Amino acid sequence: MLEQVHVSEVKKVLAKNPRGQALSYLTAFEFKVEMAQFHLDSLPQVRGTIPARSHTEAAIFQMKAALDCAAEAVNQVYRLRIDPGYALSIEQLCGEKGKALASRNPPVRSWMGRLFGEQWWLDFKELRDKITHQGLAIHHITMNLGGSEPSSLAHLEVNGRISERELRDDLEEYLLHVGSCGEEMCRLLLRDPAWQQS
């Protein structure tokens, strides 16, 4: 999923120039991506069962947690001092301080734009939020997939269904995007010497 060369290079830089707990958050990002993949890989063996729903929800939560770890790593590396009292969420990174950093730093702006400027993030976040905050069970989700709809997850409804295969395909796609965001984060940290010298 993550290009190991980028991760190992960033880890070497952080080992020489520690930035709070950034190294721990980068390691946690990798672990959470691996866990999400584990849950998705487990789905074919448990189709149509409660474990299938558990693996599906766990994959979604691991992907969101991975993005939150990436946000906190950026917070620590750039010393944004965004402190919500606990680890930063990816949404909080796009608050005032995160936007101020992005306005001064084109690589960070590009990274944030890649995440928040694309439809996959909006779809993924809607799915995750409805499951988390509205208690929407996976087996009660209906999605309009494909067609002329602007978003494959534009209409989540209770009392409907989607095939497990379609949902798994969407989740595999989201995981690829999450991994790409992590790779791009590592590349931007390697390309930006400013934080390495301060």
Name residues of the chain where pLDDT drops below 70.
1-5, 47-48, 84-86, 134-165, 193-198
pLDDT recorded at residue 5:
60
For the chain, the domains span: 4-120+164-197
- Residue partners of 126: CB distance under 8 A and separation at least 6: 151, 153, 156
Q: Is the pTM of this model over 0.75?
A: yes
d(CA 198, CA 193): 9
86 phi and psi, to 5 degrees?
Answer: -160, -175
147: left (phi over 0), alpha (psi -120 to 50) or beta: left
Q: 119: which 2 tokens? A: 């439809």
Residues in Cβ contact with 33 at an 8 Å cutoff, skipping those fewer than 6 apart: 1, 2, 62, 63, 66, 175, 178, 179, 182
pLDDT digits (tens, 9 = 90+) for 117-162: 778 888 888 888 877 776 555 544 434 333 333 333 333 443 344 5
